[in-house]
Structure 1
């Protein structure tokens, strides 16, 4: 493999994953970690990626979300840990709005036995909550996006504007100190409406989201009450979010 081929493979892998560590890239390219570190320094000097201690992250915006069916099988253990931590933060009797997305779906599943009022913003979550014995289920209007089945549009936004929730569980596509971002413009509008409707906003995000910026800006970090992630989050990423005005809760 030539140096050019190796650099292209590294860039493609980092772009696809959002960020990767040196050991992973060494295995991918069949070279030593020392060689990979030199490659990363060269690529960083060219403005192709961003170096951090032990790896690199992409500087390119990711304009499209992977399909829901693909995401639902990725990082299942981390999503379930995050969901369990979020469920523990919600008290019986609360009114809760649950965003679309695979991690929010895991949260919805854990709310089934609880005594709550819940408005899910995806048909996947609505199906999971249907028939819950103690739960009051509110269904918004809106147009379901194909595959994702997230409810968006004026009817969904009007449903949120008419209500006030104790807690919002918000998914994200990207989360950095610069703010929360989404792949889809309609989804970004819904997330802003969710934030405006809730007293407390809890963002659920695995550590990979902290290195990612998507197309549509949603809100600054200061609009978020708390981010729930896993305990393997990079300290630099966590500290940057705390400095920007939120709380990090590790699951």
Structure 2
């Protein structure tokens, strides 16, 4: 297969699936992953797709709800490092709430099997925690959002009203100094707001790409967050501004 033909087919596949991994493309076209990465670099320069950590994302998609597959490969190493740091805040006997972010799923994978109660609206988080016999899992239920493999909506929000937790761990699409935390999906934003309301301590898990971004629906003001965990790519200027607001900021380095 000619290089030009392979690259054309790569664009077709990315647009069809919305996102795809380098390893998958390598298997499909029987070339090395390094060759695929060079293809993706060229195609991104031509504005035919967008590269992400471990894969590529379509520029043609138009959806307020990002697919889980796409989120799973975006800034994956940063999210894992943030998750590892967040797990250190959990103690045996805690009651916590985890949202449907990929960072929360990484947390579920890293959690030790210890006495713990976890409320979540994430199918992926619930499935991961089901492997740990000492962890009690409570699902919010509600309307299934297939792209994010999560539950949301009025029923999910009402289910949280019955509980109080020690800590809430949430992520979001945007973190803005003036406009606060925001999400592109209204149902997710409302549910995350409720998660924060039932928690004694609130922890934001946000990789550096989220900062300075404002999306569709506000979740809460940034000063309502007790602790922020992010990665070392956060700009010095933004870090200084967060510290000036006396926000508890923890910057982690990916392994």
TM-score where L is the length of structure 2 = 0.71
d(CA) in 2 for partners of 1:229, 1:194: 20
Write the distance in 1 (CA, Å) between the matches of 2:138 and 2:205.
22
- What is the aligned partner in structure 2 of residue 39 from structure 1? none
Q: 2-side partners of 1:242 and 1:144: how far apart?
A: 38
Which ranges of structure 1 fall in alignment gaps of 5 or more residues?
Answer: 1-23, 30-61
* Larger mean Cα displacement after TM superposition, 63-72 or 88-97: 63-72
| Residue 189 (structure 2) aligns with | 188
Aligned positions of 1:143-162 closer than 5 A: 143-162=143-162
- Output aligned runs, 1:83-102, within 5 Å: 83-102=83-102
CA RMSD of the aligned region, Å?
Answer: 2.1
What CA distance in whole angstroms lies between the structure 1 residues aligned with 2:65 and 2:228?
A: 21
Residue equivalent to 2:53: none
Q: In structure 1, what is the equivalent of residue 52 of structure 2?
A: none
Q: Deviations over 1:59-93 (max 9, x none)?
A: xxx98353221110122211110000000111111
> Which whole-Å CA distance do the structure 1 matches of 2:243 and 2:93 have between them?
29
| Matched pairs, number | 194
Given that 1:176 and 1:237 are in contact with CA atoms closer than 8 Å, whether structure 2 keeps it comes out as: no
Equivalent residue number for residue 229 of structure 1: 230
The residue aligned with 1:164 is 164
Q: Deviations over 1:29-49 (max 9, x none)?
A: 9xxxxxxxxxxxxxxxxxxxx
Instruction: Return 228-237 or 174-183, whichever deviates more.
Output: 228-237
CA deviation after TM superposition for structure 1 residue 245, in Å? 4.9
Deviation digits for residues 162-195 of structure 1, max 9, x if unmatched? 1000000101100011200000111110011011
Which residue number in structure 1 is paired with residue 244 of structure 2?
Answer: 243
The whole-number CA distance in structure 2 between the counterparts of 1:109 and 1:144 is 22
Looking at structure 1, the residues matched to 213 and 77 of structure 2 have their Cα atoms a distance apart, in angstroms, of 20
CA contact (8 A) 1:176 1:241 kept: no
Q: Deviations over 1:174-230 (max 9, x none)?
A: 001120000011111001101101011111111000021111011101110111011
Task: State the partner residue of 1:35.
Answer: none
Q: Distance in 1 between matches of 2:71 and 2:176?
A: 20
| Structure 2, unpaired ranges of 5+ | 1-40, 47-61
Query: Normalising by structure 1, what TM-score?
Result: 0.72
C-alpha separation in 2, matches of 1:243 and 1:142: 39
1:205 corresponds to: 206
